[in-house]
Structure 1
Amino acid sequence: MENFDVVIVGGGSAGLAASIALGRSRRKVLVVDEGNPRNAVSAHAHNVLGHEGISPKDLIALGHAEAVNYGVEFVSAHIESVQGSIEEGFKISTPSSQWTARRIVLATGARDILPEIPGLQQAWGVSALHCPYCHGWEVRDQQIAILGVSEMSTHQALLFSQLSDKVTFVNHTPEKLSAENRELLTALGIEVIDSSVTGLAVNDSGQVSSLSLENGTDFEVQAVVVASQVTANASIYLELGGELSENPMGTFISAEQTGATGIPGIYAAGNVASIGAMIGASAAAGTMAGAFINAELAMETVKKKMGQNEVQA
């Protein structure tokens, strides 16, 4: 059974950045990735300094090549179980392989749970959006419908109104819109349609053209904004006895700035620990975790040597 200093679960921006930080410090690192990134439906990545508008697939390919250059190893596989502790080490098992590691980084990301509205999934990532910083510029000045489905919907309306003066709030889930937030929408000059959505008209390319409303009318739009419920891909953390935290956006693993979680030896970086983190922030979190783990392992090794010297003396 091959032993690694660090096994990183997830080969997105956070996982790759962590692997590069560790690889550059000559740590033995394995990245295990299933190849199902959250942004797979996105054609472009934004707010990536020096790579604005790059394809997410191309960005990952560049990071993969950089990691390989520093000796990082990669395996495409699904992890079935992780067992162990920081004291005895961790054992990672897939259907065909097993490895041991001194530390584990969870960079497993998150998944978006959408309201069950016909056509919404087909438009997701193309003309059905959630983040003004990731997609807002591309729909500037368009006819935008904000679907009122959660406490975050009014916040989305606030931000997208900066990008277009043709924003309408469709009050799909009435109990989620407080009187205070309705006043905010009025102050912004955003029309509120008090009707749920029964479906989206979407073409084969994922472009929405209209919403069908429960009140019997159709509403023409060019983009739809919806707050997904974000769920951390945290089965490994839960298996090890960890618990998830929750905020209005969804669930996540609580982690310190260093990436350290409530389970010694287990670190988390990227969307699994920070729901709203964009690519740059996820990569920064991965680098931080990698750097901290390297320092921790170095101190652990020197303390062990000091202990051996004391015994010999």
Structure 2
Amino acid sequence: MNENHDRHDEVIVIGGGAAGLSAGLTLARARRAVTVIDGGAPRNAPAAGIHGLLANEGIAPAEYLARGRTEVTGYGGRVLAGQVRDALPDGDGFAVTLDDGTVLRSRALLVATGVRDVLPDLPGLAAHWGTSVLHCPYCHGWEVRDRRIGILGTGPLSWMQALMFHQWSDDVVLLAGDADPAPDEVAKLEAVGIEVVRGRVAEVLDDAAGALTGVRLADGTAVEVDALAVHSRIEANVGIIAGLGLPLEENQMGTVVPSDADGSTAVPGVWVAGNLRDQAAQVTAAAADGVLVAARLNLNLTFADADRAVEERRVTA
């Protein structure tokens, strides 16, 4: 096992996405010794661009993160590429072990490992995720405006998703499947011109070039669409930090790590930011949350330093 002795960090940030890098930047500018561990698998990697990000509208995810890493290191922060094997309490701090055996230590942890999207088990669906299979109208609605958009019925929120996408196109069809919207919900959909198709979707259809063209129902009926919107199940990425004992909370969207408004958790010294605690946060919101949580964490360390100084003065007086 490799022991990394070149510095003892004040904060280790696990996760090199928008929230993690924003937190790392904030802490580096606060002159904290901070290391950001980047696993290199951002949730939005399949997307062509990030949208709704002021002054960086449409920027490629890889370019956005590369700029962020440069900014963190420019202020003295450290960014390490690697996978976390485990993270555990260690004395009055924490020890984080990477997959190559390197052990890093810090006073506090800020976890921004994000979430993963669990898609319905439907043949052909995953191949189009992030391109023509979408989930967020604010992220992708403009790109499929005025086209025929199918809403894959997966649960009680699907009819609402159909209403939302109708803002971007007059040609929206709810592929109800097992979602079975209530009569009053169907009435709203039909009143604004959204078609409701019953029957279970069996597969996603492509043309010879691999472009999505529609879906096939279980009864063999083909329904043409240019894009599909689907509610994925959003699950918190906490496997690699299971040793910290962070609790998980189940909600209508999936799982999330509960935290206080400042990002602190039930485990002293462990803070969370971004999608890990707010599943609906887009890149802009996740980055802002990273700044907020880092600032509160920094304040916490500042007060702890002052308390320690008072105690040391009392002991030596």
State the TM-score, normalized to the length of structure 1.
Answer: 0.95
Specify the code of the residue in structure 2 equivalent to 1:55: A
Q: Is the 8 A contact 1:33 1:76 kept in 2?
A: yes
CA distance in 2, matches of 1:52, 1:173: 36
Which among 11, 27, 48 is matched to residue 32 of structure 2? 27
271-280 or 247-256, which deviates more: 247-256
Answering whether residue 276 of structure 2 is matched by residue 257 of structure 1, we say no
**Match for residue 93 of structure 1?**
97
1:73-152 counterparts in 2 under 5 A?
73-84=78-89, 88-95=92-99, 96-152=101-157
1:50-61 counterparts in 2 under 5 A?
50-61=55-66
CA distance in 2, matches of 1:206, 1:308: 68
Deviations 1:89-137 (A, max 9, x none): 1111123200111110111011100011111001111101010000000
Specify the code of the residue in structure 1 equivalent to 2:112: A
**Match for residue 207 of structure 1?**
211
SS at match of 2:12: strand
Which among 192, 195, 202 is matched to residue 196 of structure 2? 192
CA distance in 1, matches of 2:31, 2:124: 49
Deviations 1:32-69 (A, max 9, x none): 11101100100010010111111111111111111010
**Match for residue 69 of structure 2?**
64
Answering whether residue 293 of structure 2 is matched by residue 286 of structure 1, we say no
166-175 or 192-201, which deviates more: 166-175
CA distance in 2, matches of 1:130, 1:146: 9
Q: What is the CA RMSD across the aligned residues, in angstroms? A: 1.5
Deviations 1:251-270 (A, max 9, x none): 11112232111211111111
State the TM-score, normalized to the length of structure 2.
Answer: 0.94
Q: Aligned-pair distance for 1:174?
A: 4.1
Answering whether residue 275 of structure 2 is matched by residue 271 of structure 1, we say yes
SS at match of 2:141: helix
Q: Is the 8 A contact 2:87 2:94 kept in 1?
A: yes
CA distance in 2, matches of 1:216, 1:235: 40
Q: Aligned-pair distance for 1:183?
A: 2.8
SS at match of 1:183: helix
CA distance in 1, matches of 2:74, 2:93: 27
Which among 26, 30, 47 is matched to residue 52 of structure 2? 47
The alpha-carbon distance between structure 1 residues 122 and 31, as it changes in their structure 2 partners (threshold 3 A), is: same
Q: Aligned-pair distance for 1:179?
A: 3.3
Answering whether residue 193 of structure 2 is matched by residue 155 of structure 1, we say no
Q: Is the 8 A contact 1:169 1:193 kept in 2?
A: yes
Specify the code of the residue in structure 1 equivalent to 2:79: F
Q: Aligned-pair distance for 1:154?
A: 1.3
Q: Is the 8 A contact 1:123 1:202 kept in 2?
A: no
Q: Identical aligned pairs, as a percentage?
A: 38
Q: Aligned-pair distance for 1:213?
A: 1.1
The number of residues matched between the two structures is 311
Q: Aligned-pair distance for 1:181?
A: 2.4
Deviations 1:202-256 (A, max 9, x none): 3587631121111221111111111100111012454222211122111111122
CA distance in 1, matches of 2:200, 2:249: 30
The alpha-carbon distance between structure 1 residues 121 and 283, as it changes in their structure 2 partners (threshold 3 A), is: same
SS at match of 1:80: strand
The alpha-carbon distance between structure 1 residues 6 and 128, as it changes in their structure 2 partners (threshold 3 A), is: same
